[in-house]
């Protein structure tokens, strides 16, 4: 017959098998119940019996089994007709954009290529929010900018995560400019970039762990929901006065599938946080580019300085190779076939001094910490952990433990009152043709003098 | 209590509220209900044909049709007497294709819509391989620029009207998943069953009952599989298998009837409009409403 659900000889067999299976399950259940009762009766005396029963088939206890079948008869009516619970879906309906007039604009926070961010107060509730007015230019962007569309889509999709900034609603202008579009988001006092510039000392190791765990959980959530952020950097990580970070600015983000779509643009991620495979011109990439950025952020949190500050693509790549070593066919199979790798001239392989210097550069870091940073900054994308994998790393389980967010220090807010200082860091790339690496690129001399450098500090005080 | 999921996701769509289904901006402006349904149906067909000609995947076409229906729905929705429905249809397709990997240029899109407009509703032929637009068919530069302006304006209008809720959860991959769960591909008619179920899901996009605005993808899929299995003659479990997919018998029954009525509705539309055009602009719609009034008055 035609389907698995048609009646046939095998079906009878299948039925019998299923019946037996059901029987078995029922028996197990009854046994469990019996064990619970027994455990109650004689909690102390029975540990070896429980241990035994857990192995499933306890063939050497026929007496117990026979008694079970009596219990089973009593259980039957309850076990067979459980109340059926169907999943219900009740998402809210849509409604037209409401008006910006429900908000009083307070002060300007910053301006980017995407728009202006201001602090605002909702008139009805008195609540303070951040309002981002989009810069719209239909002629330039071919209609509504695709970056804003993706940002709104991704933020709505990731709304429920506590470490992703909450997009409350999108409102529009009124009166003469009904086409103005504003994103209303929760307001956070700081961004990590500005905050670090103001701080005298870098974050403590325990604080860095908390920040990284929060960031890792946000990125893991995004990847789990098929979103790549594609512009992770400290200025896109907001921090409130309760030690909680929220990931913001999804202008570069997009939905992907598995396998990832071919022909993604490699012009993503702000240069200093851009993974080597992007610099080498790959068009197929996945969450590992976000993981590279997390590695850069980790390094930046440790030293209070952006880790790899290249002035252009070529310099960025050379800084990466200086820190992480030169890729080889062994460590990164196939990298030579990437578009921009053909013009690279790398120093001859098999030189011991060409490995990663992460261990010696971050001498105060524990072995586990250096191991994590090393894997995050693995040149080969497949060598990097997943965002979920970061959370399980041993580094977070060793002392000092991650600091509870409630114990975080508070800082005076830059965004609260005055204009945030213009960041010295470069912006995410604009859309358009990706410039290849220009001309012949010679990296053969980047390791000159490496031997003379100090190999790590001897002692350092560890702050906890 | 049964668990409740309240966030839109890849599985869940925002649904129209009762107030939104009761009336619409078009009806408030005086568009008769059946005429409104005809226009909705026609713009859906238009987008389906345009999407095929533009070689877009069905996911994007389906999203654009759902978005189009949301746009016309409810008193806060948009009125067909204020916006040219065929321009809005084009903008919906442009909007859904944009953030995907199948971005369209305005020129591609507008050329195809202008071509389809010249066909007086015979989209099916055009969308089949025979009637692709010939290379000498083009849009004049002036027309193009004016239409492009309208395209951008309508795109922003759709977004504002939907409160930027352009998210659409589609049933297609869920359908494959359910069929696999039912072990449907084990039998020889598995693929014909799947094709039939997909066909029902695609027709449901054009349903006058706006099924994608009133039912979640899981229910649509379950009903389409149920009906397809009846038609293909393949056997499904004799127990209430739809409950595994969180669909109640009552909802299943309603949807199966709705899916079965699609063919009759399409026939009826074809007969009603015959050789004449469904009004797809504000001007044409005004004339159609005036004609209808004149006819009833003259009777």
Integer CA distances (angstroms), A46 to A39, A55, A259, B7, B114, in order: 7, 15, 52, 48, 82
Q: What is the CA radius of gyration of chain B?
A: 20
Instruction: Please tell me if the domain spanning B28-168+275-288 has the same topology as the one spanning B172-260.
Output: yes
Distance from C-alpha of A190 to C-alpha of A165, rounded to nearest angstrom:
13
Q: What angle do CA B156, B159, B165 make, to 5 degrees?
A: 165
Which secondary structure element, helix H or strand E, spans residue A359, and what is its range?
Answer: helix A358-361
Looking at per-residue confidence, does B260 or B101 come out higher?
A: B260
Distance (Å) from the alpha carbon of B273 to chain A's nearest alpha carbon: 33
Asked if B76's CB is within 8 angstroms of A170's CB, the reply is no
- The architecture in CATH of the region B172-260 reads Orthogonal Bundle (1.10)
Question: Is B18 within 8 Å of chain A by CB?
Answer: no
User: How many Cβ atoms are within 10 Å of A320's Cβ, its own excluded?
Assistant: 22
Distance from C-alpha of A159 to C-alpha of A178, rounded to nearest angstrom:
26
Q: Do residues A132 and A117 touch, judged by C-beta distance below 8 A?
A: yes
What is chain B's mean pLDDT, rounded? 87
Pairing of strands A103-111, A115-122: antiparallel
Domain parsing of chain B, residue ranges = 28-168+275-288, 172-260
Pairing of strands A128-134, A103-111: unpaired
pLDDT at B132: 55
Q: What angle do CA A302, A304, A308 make, to 5 degrees?
A: 85
From the list B1, B68, B17, B15, the residue with the least C-alpha distance to B218 is: B15
Domains contained in chain A, CATH given: 102-185 (3.30.200.20), 190-342+349-418 (1.10.510.10)
Name A358's Cβ contacts closer than 8 Å, sequence gap at least 6: A323, A324, A370, A373, A374, A377
- pLDDT truncated to tens, each residue of chain A (464 aa)? 455 666 665 556 666 666 677 677 777 777 777 776 766 665 544 444 444 444 444 444 444 444 444 444 444 444 556 677 888 887 888 889 999 999 998 988 888 777 899 999 999 999 999 999 998 888 888 899 998 999 998 998 888 899 999 999 999 988 788 888 999 999 998 889 989 988 888 999 999 999 999 999 999 999 998 899 999 999 999 998 888 999 998 988 988 877 777 777 878 888 999 999 999 988 889 999 999 999 999 999 999 999 999 999 989 999 999 899 888 888 888 888 888 888 777 776 555 556 788 888 888 889 999 999 999 999 999 999 999 999 999 999 998 889 888 888 888 776 655 445 445 567 777 656 566 666 666 666 666 555 554 444 445 455 55
A75 is catalytic: no
Distance from C-alpha of A116 to C-alpha of B78, rounded to nearest angstrom:
30
Q: What percent of chain B has pLDDT over 90?
A: 58
Encode pLDDT of B215-244 as tens digits.
999 999 999 999 999 998 887 888 888 888
For the CA atoms of B217, B222, B228, B231, the dihedral, rounded to the nearest 10 degrees, stands at -140
Distance from C-alpha of A296 to C-alpha of A304, rounded to nearest angstrom:
11
* Helix pair angle (B33-53, B282-298), 10° resolution: 150
Pairing of strands A190-191, B4-5: unpaired
Distance from C-alpha of B199 to C-alpha of B196, rounded to nearest angstrom:
5
Distance of CA A201 to the CA centre of its chain: 26
pLDDT band, residue B99 (cuts 50/70/90)? confident
Distance from C-alpha of A121 to C-alpha of A139, rounded to nearest angstrom:
32
3-state SS class at A88:
strand
With beta carbons under 8 A apart, name residues in chain B contacting A5.
182-183, 234-238
Asked if B2's CB is within 8 angstroms of A94's CB, the reply is no
From the list B165, B221, B198, the residue with the least C-alpha distance to B59 is: B198
B:232-271 residues touching chain A, CB 8 A cutoff? 233-238, 243, 246-248
Integer CA distances (angstroms), B252 to A397, B186, B211, B223, B255, in order: 51, 24, 12, 5, 5
Q: Do residues B45 and B37 touch, judged by C-beta distance below 8 A?
A: no
In the block, which residue shows the tokens 């190791």? A205
pTM for the full model?
0.80
- DSSP 8-state secondary structure symbol assigned to residue A392: T
Given the candidates 3.90.1150.10, 1.10.472.10, 3.40.140.10, 2.60.120.10, the CATH classification of the domain at B28-168+275-288 is 1.10.472.10
Which residue in chain A is spatially nearest to B5 when comparing CA positions? Answer: A89
Distance from C-alpha of A289 to C-alpha of A229, rounded to nearest angstrom:
9
For B104-148, the DSSP string reads: --HHHHHHHHHHHHTTTT-HHHHHSGGGPPPTT----HHHHHHHH
Distance from C-alpha of B15 to C-alpha of B212, rounded to nearest angstrom:
8
Distance from C-alpha of A189 to C-alpha of A203, rounded to nearest angstrom:
17
Distance from C-alpha of A202 to C-alpha of A42, rounded to nearest angstrom:
57
pLDDT band, residue B24 (cuts 50/70/90)? very high
Q: Do residues B41 and B65 touch, judged by C-beta distance below 8 A?
A: no
pLDDT at B154: 95
Which secondary structure element, helix H or strand E, spans residue A121, and what is its range?
Answer: strand A115-122
From the list B145, B138, B24, the residue with the least C-alpha distance to B83 is: B24
Q: Do residues A446 and A353 touch, judged by C-beta distance below 8 A?
A: no
Which residue in chain B is spatially nearest to A226 when comparing CA positions? Answer: B10
Looking at per-residue confidence, does A23 or B246 come out higher?
A: B246
3-state SS class at A115:
strand
Q: Is the pLDDT of residue B32 over 70?
A: yes
Burial of residue A348, with CB atoms counted within 10 A of its CB: 0-12 exposed, 13-18 middle, 19 or more buried: exposed
Distance from C-alpha of B52 to C-alpha of B56, rounded to nearest angstrom:
6
Asked if B105's CB is within 8 angstroms of A142's CB, the reply is yes
Asked if B14's CB is within 8 angstroms of A94's CB, the reply is yes
Question: Is B76 within 8 Å of chain A by CB?
Answer: yes
Q: Name the phi and psi angles at B16, rounded to 5.
A: -70, 140
Which residue in chain A is spatially nearest to B145 when comparing CA positions? Answer: A139
User: How many Cβ atoms are within 10 Å of A108's Cβ, its own excluded?
Assistant: 14
Start-to-end C-alpha separation, chain B: 57
Which of A6, A146, A157 comes nearest B235 by C-beta? A6
Exposure of B61 in the CB half-sphere (CA atoms within 13 A) = 22
Testing the interface with A: which of B63, B99, B171, B194 to mutate, by most A Cβ within 10 A? Answer: B99
Token pair recorded at residue A145: 């900018």
Distance from C-alpha of A397 to C-alpha of A104, rounded to nearest angstrom:
46
Distance from C-alpha of A49 to C-alpha of A24, rounded to nearest angstrom:
20
Share of chain A residues as helix, strand and coil, in percent rounded to the nearest 5: 40, 10, 50
pLDDT band, residue B160 (cuts 50/70/90)? very high
pLDDT at A444: 65
Token pair recorded at residue A410: 């508070």
Burial of residue B185, with CB atoms counted within 10 A of its CB: 0-12 exposed, 13-18 middle, 19 or more buried: middle
Distance (Å) from the alpha carbon of B137 to chain A's nearest alpha carbon: 23
Distance of CA A67 to the CA centre of its chain: 53
Question: Is B188 within 8 Å of chain A by CB?
Answer: yes
Q: What percent of chain B has pLDDT over 70?
A: 91
Q: Is the pLDDT of residue B137 over 90?
A: no
Question: Measured on CA atoms in the order A140, A143, A144, A146, is the torsion positive or negative?
Answer: negative
Integer CA distances (angstroms), A166 to A75, A113, A249, in order: 49, 21, 11
Asked if A87's CB is within 8 angstroms of B14's CB, the reply is no
Encode pLDDT of B247-279 as tens digits.
989 999 999 999 999 999 999 998 988 878 889
Distance from C-alpha of B211 to C-alpha of B277, rounded to nearest angstrom:
25
Q: Name the phi and psi angles at A269, rounded to 5.
A: 70, 130
Distance from C-alpha of B22 to C-alpha of B161, rounded to nearest angstrom:
18
In the block, which residue shows the tokens 């252009």? A312
Strands (E), chain B: 4-5
pLDDT at A277: 92
Q: Is the pLDDT of residue B9 over 80?
A: no
Distance from C-alpha of A170 to C-alpha of A151, rounded to nearest angstrom:
11
Q: Do residues B139 and B107 touch, judged by C-beta distance below 8 A?
A: yes
pLDDT at A76: 46
Which of A94, A181, A263 comes nearest B162 by C-beta? A94
Helix and strand numbers (H, E) in chain B are 14, 1
Distance from C-alpha of A382 to C-alpha of B35, rounded to nearest angstrom:
57
Asked if B99's CB is within 8 angstroms of A2's CB, the reply is no
Distance from C-alpha of B168 to C-alpha of A153, rounded to nearest angstrom:
10
Candidate list A231, A249, A286, A392, residue with the active-site label: A231
Which residue in chain A is spatially nearest to B193 when comparing CA positions? Answer: A3
Question: Measured on CA atoms in the order B189, B191, B193, B199, is the torsion positive or negative?
Answer: negative
Q: What is the ipTM of this complex?
A: 0.87
From the list A307, A300, A290, the residue with the least C-alpha distance to A388 is: A290
Question: Is B216 within 8 Å of chain A by CB?
Answer: yes
């Amino acid at each position: 017959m035609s389907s698995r659900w048609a009646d046939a000889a095998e079906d009878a067999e299948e039925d019998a098998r299923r019946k037996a299976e059901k029987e078995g399950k029922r028996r197990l259940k009854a046994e469990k119940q019996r064990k619970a009762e027994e455990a109650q009766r004689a909690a102390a005396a029975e540990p070896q019996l429980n241990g035994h029963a857990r192995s499933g088939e306890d063939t050497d206890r026929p007496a117990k089994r026979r008694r079970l079948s009596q219990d089973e008869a009593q259980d039957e009516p309850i076990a067979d007709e459980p109340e059926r619970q169907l999943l219900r879906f009740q998402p809210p309906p849509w409604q037209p954009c409401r008006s910006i007039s429900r908000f009083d604009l307070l002060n300007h926070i910053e301006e980017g290529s995407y728009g202006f961010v201001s602090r605002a107060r909702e008139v009805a509730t008195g609540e303070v929010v951040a309002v981002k007015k989009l810069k719209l230019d239909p002629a330039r962007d071919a209609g509504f900018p695709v970056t804003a569309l993706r940002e709104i889509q991704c933020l709505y999709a990731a709304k429920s995560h506590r470490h992703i900034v909450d997009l409350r609603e999108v409102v529009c202008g009124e009166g003469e400019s009904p086409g103005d579009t504003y994103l209303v988001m929760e307001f956070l006092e700081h961004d990590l970039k500005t905050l670090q510039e103001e701080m005298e000392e870098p974050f403590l190791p325990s604080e860095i762990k908390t920040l990284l765990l929060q960031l890792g959980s946000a990125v893991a959530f995004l990847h789990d929901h098929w979103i790549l952020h594609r512009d992770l950097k400290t200025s896109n990580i907001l921090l409130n006065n309760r030690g909680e970070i929220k990931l913001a600015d999804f202008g570069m983000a997009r939905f992907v599938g598995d396998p990832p779509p071919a022909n993604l643009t490699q012009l993503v991620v702000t240069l200093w946080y851009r993974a080597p495979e992007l610099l080498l011109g790959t068009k197929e990439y996945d969450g590992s580019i976000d993981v590279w950025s997390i590695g850069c952020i980790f390094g930046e949190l440790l030293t209070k300085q952006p880790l790899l500050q290249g002035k252009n693509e070529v310099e960025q790549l050379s800084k990466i190779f200086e820190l992480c070593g030169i890729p080889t066919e062994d460590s990164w199979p196939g990298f030579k076939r990437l578009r921009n790798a053909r013009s690279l001239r790398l120093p001859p392989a098999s030189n011991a001094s060409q490995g990663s210097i992460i261990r010696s550069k971050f001498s105060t870091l524990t072995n586990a910490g250096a191991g994590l940073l090393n894997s995050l900054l693995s040149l080969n994308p497949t060598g990097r952990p997943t965002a979920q994998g970061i959370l399980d790393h041993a580094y977070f389980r060793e002392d000092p433990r991650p600091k509870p967010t409630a114990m975080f220090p508070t800082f005076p807010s830059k965004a609260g009152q005055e204009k945030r200082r213009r960041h010295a860091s470069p912006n995410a790339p604009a859309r358009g043709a990706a410039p290849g690496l220009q001309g012949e690129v010679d990296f053969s001399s980047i390791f000159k003098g490496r031997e003379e450098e100090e190999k790590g500090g001897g002692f350092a005080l560890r702050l906890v | 209590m049964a668990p409740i999921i309240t966030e839109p996701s890849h599985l869940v769509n925002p649904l129209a509220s009762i107030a939104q289904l009761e009336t619409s901006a078009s009806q408030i402006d005086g568009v008769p209900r059946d005429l409104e349904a005809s226009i909705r149906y026609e713009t859906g067909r238009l987008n389906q044909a345009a999407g095929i000609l533009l070689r877009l995947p069905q996911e994007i076409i389906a999203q654009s049709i759902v978005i189009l229906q949301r746009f016309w729905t409810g008193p806060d929705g948009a009125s067909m007497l204020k916006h040219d429905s065929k321009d809005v249809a084009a903008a919906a397709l442009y909007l859904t294709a944009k953030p995907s990997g199948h971005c369209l240029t305005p020129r591609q899109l507008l050329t195809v819509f202008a071509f389809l407009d010249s066909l007086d509703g015979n989209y099916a032929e055009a969308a089949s391989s025979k009637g692709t637009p010939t290379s000498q068919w083009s849009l004049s530069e002036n027309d193009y620029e004016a239409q492009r302006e309208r395209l951008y304006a309508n795109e922003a209008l759709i977004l504002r009207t939907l409160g930027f809720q352009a998210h659409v959860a589609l049933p297609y991959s869920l359908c494959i998943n359910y069929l696999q769960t039912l072990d449907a591909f084990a039998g020889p008619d598995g693929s014909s069953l799947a094709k039939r179920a997909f066909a029902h899901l695609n027709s449901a996009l054009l349903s006058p009952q706006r099924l994608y605005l009133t039912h979640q993808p899981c229910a649509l899929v379950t009903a389409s599989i149920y009906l397809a299995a009846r038609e293909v003659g393949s056997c499904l479990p004799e127990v209430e298998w739809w409950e595994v997919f969180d669909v109640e018998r009552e909802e299943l029954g309603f949807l199966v009837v709705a899916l079965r009525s699609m063919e009759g509705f399409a026939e009826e539309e074809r007969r009603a409009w015959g050789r004449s055009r469904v009004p797809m602009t504000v001007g044409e719609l005004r004339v159609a409403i005036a004609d209808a009034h004149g006819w009833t008055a003259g009777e």
